[in-house]
Amino acid sequence: MILIIRNKIDSDSLKTVAEDLKGYIKVVVDIQRKILTAGGEKHVDGESLLLKDGSRQQNLWGGGLDLETNQMDFDSMINLRPSQNTSREILDPKIRQQVESISRSLLEQ
């Protein structure tokens, strides 16, 4: 299940979005609007939800949070944009920091 998270997630919703990948949550973060999608098996599905919700492509970045280790990653096919980011990994340290900060503020219990 994929949810759009606009405010701090409650523990029941966190458990729900973590079920898809057994404790690992894929996130797509809108760094401009400071919201994200959590859950699902593919970042592109979360990206699609946010685009329909009014987000702009250049503000969307994919990554994930492992609930067991509390480690973030910044790897997603949606991050691969020749004019903005030449890797699946988010290369810009400022964008990485924004993705992590927004993710942690909305997902951590």
Is 100 in contact with 66 (CB distance < 8 Å)?
no
Q: Where are the domains of the chain?
A: 2-107
Please state the pTM of the whole predicted model: 0.95
Q: What is the pLDDT of residue 109?
A: 73
Q: What is the pLDDT of residue 59?
A: 97
| Three-state secondary structure readout of 49-85 | HHHHCCCCHHHEEEEEEECCCCEEECECHHHCECCCE
- The residues, ordered by sequence, that sit 6+ positions from 55 with a Cβ below 8 Å of its Cβ are 30, 32, 33, 35
* pLDDT tens, the chain, 109 aa long: 999 999 999 999 999 999 989 999 999 999 999 999 999 999 999 999 999 999 999 999 999 999 999 999 999 999 999 999 999 999 999 999 999 999 999 998 7
Angle at 60 between CA 58 and CA 64, to 5 degrees: 150
